[in-house]
């Protein structure tokens, strides 16, 4: 059983683990458990797996009426988790973080079923920290995680990510054609996540005329919430070398086209960009629990593997930061090489091997 979710950063690693497991053991069954109404309830069936939903909800970090229902939803979720485990009889349970994983792993641990926790971030999430005492293994993507988990049970596997981004060099021509890009202009790829990021979008609007004047072209994922607003602003500016899309499905082609990437610093984004090996400007979101994204970005900056631009400095400072990097090819190469050293292309398989050890 695999449990967790709430965001793509939890769901996609979970699906990658399931793919790696079923590739090795096609006769086995995998059951996902998520939170009712959250995106895993759609994304997991799309990937070909069965999922059950729990009524669990997150505890707000301030006094709200929502918190009054928290104990009742938690109790109901624990009882449903007991029934699911009794019916499915798992050999092991994997938790990928997010409050959705709490009830299932708690019940599994109470019943002596082996549990493995996969922590994507450089700063452990609350649910994973609460479950740490009785988990048999922790698969992590960053050094220094002994601050949160017992050192003798930590395995440095990296985060599981999509495999189609491993071979990009041969896809550049296809990428130019697919996105309608010019071969004669360097490509700035801008990513704010599937929903979008207000600050990053505002920074692109503030700097896009300058970037086009400098001879660059921009491939821009605005996110679905901001697409109409941003395309209206783009139409007013009449810039033919700025290509805005609500969501980029062909991420392998986008990465192949990119000379420089501007991105949020979610754990999954950082792990993908480590395999891509392109220079990156991280603009961490300040609106995430435990300031995860800043910590993820700093872990790369400390290895001279990325540049950090703070959220509150991005609108005014993006154009200058892009110019500084694009005018220094040696630094661009160095950043790309250093971030690639942090990549773990076989993360999902390494996690499967840890599961095999627990089950045996």
Contact 106, 77 (CB under 8 A): no
Concatenating the DSSP letter of every residue in 98-132 gives STTHHHHHHHHHHTT--EEEEE-SSS--HHHHHHG
Q: Check the annotation: does 267 bind a ligand.
A: yes
Q: Check the annotation: does 169 bind a ligand.
A: no
Q: Check the annotation: does 34 bind a ligand.
A: no
The alpha-helical segments, DSSP class H, found in the chain are 8-24, 40-46, 66-88, 101-110, 126-131, 172-179, 198-213, 227-237, 251-257, 267-276, 292-301, 314-326, 329-341, 347-359
Q: Check the annotation: does 248 bind a ligand.
A: yes
What's the CA gap between 196 and 189, in Å, rounded? 14
Contact 160, 13 (CB under 8 A): yes
Q: Check the annotation: does 223 bind a ligand.
A: no
Q: Check the annotation: does 101 bind a ligand.
A: no
Q: Check the annotation: does 261 bind a ligand.
A: no
Q: Check the annotation: does 8 bind a ligand.
A: yes
Contact 114, 91 (CB under 8 A): yes
Q: Check the annotation: does 121 bind a ligand.
A: yes
Q: Check the annotation: does 327 bind a ligand.
A: no
Q: Check the annotation: does 64 bind a ligand.
A: no
Q: Check the annotation: does 253 bind a ligand.
A: no
Contact 255, 278 (CB under 8 A): yes
Q: Check the annotation: does 158 bind a ligand.
A: no
Q: Check the annotation: does 269 bind a ligand.
A: yes
Main-chain dihedrals φ then ψ at residue 270, nearest 5 degrees: -60, -45
The alpha-helical segments, DSSP class H, found in 25-65 are 40-46
Structure tokens at 196: 């979008």
Annotated binding residues for UDP-N-acetyl-alpha-D-glucosamine, written as ranges, equal: 7-9, 121, 162, 194, 248, 267-272, 293
Annotated binding residues, written as ranges, equal: 7-9, 121, 162, 194, 248, 267-272, 293
């Amino acid at each position: 059983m695999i449990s967790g979710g709430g965001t793509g950063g939890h769901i996609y690693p979970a699906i990658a683990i399931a793919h790696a497991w079923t590739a090795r053991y096609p006769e086995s069954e995998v059951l996902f458990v998520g939170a009712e109404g959250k995106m895993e309830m759609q994304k997991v069936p799309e990937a070909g797996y069965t999922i059950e939903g729990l009524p669990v909800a997150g505890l707000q970090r301030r006094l709200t009426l929502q918190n009054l229902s928290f104990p009742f939803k938690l109790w109901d979720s624990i009882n449903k988790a007991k029934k699911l485990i009794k019916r499915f009889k798992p050999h092991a349970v994997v938790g990928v973080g997010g409050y959705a994983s709490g009830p299932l792993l708690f019940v599994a641990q109470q019943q002596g079923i082996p549990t493995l926790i996969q922590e994507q971030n450089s700063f452990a999430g609350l649910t994973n920290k609460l479950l740490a005492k009785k988990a048999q293994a922790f698969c992590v993507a960053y050094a220094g995680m002994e601050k949160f988990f017992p050192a003798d049970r930590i395995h440095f596997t990296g985060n599981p990510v999509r495999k189609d981004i491993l071979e990009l060099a041969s896809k550049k021509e296809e990428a130019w054609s697919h996105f309608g890009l010019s071969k004669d202009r360097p490509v700035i790829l801008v990513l704010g996540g599937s929903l979008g990021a207000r600050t990053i979008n505002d920074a692109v609007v503030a700097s896009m005329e300058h970037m086009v004047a400098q001879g660059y072209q921009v491939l821009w994922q605005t996110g679905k919430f901001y697409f109409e607003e941003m395309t209206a602003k783009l139409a007013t500016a009449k810039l033919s070398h700025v290509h805005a899309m609500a969501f980029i499905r062909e991420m392998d082609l986008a990465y192949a086209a990119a000379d420089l990437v501007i991105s949020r610093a979610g754990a999954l984004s950082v792990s993908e960009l480590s395999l891509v090996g392109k220079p990156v400007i991280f603009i961490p979101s300040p609106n995430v629990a435990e300031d995860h994204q800043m910590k993820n970005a700093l872990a790369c900056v400390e290895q001279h593997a990325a540049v950090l631009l703070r959220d509150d400095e991005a609108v005014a400072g993006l154009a200058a930061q892009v110019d500084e990097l694009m005018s220094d090819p040696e630094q661009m190469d160095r950043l790309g090489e250093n971030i690639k050293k942090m990549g773990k292309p076989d993360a999902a398989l390494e996690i499967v091997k840890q599961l095999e050890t627990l089950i045996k």
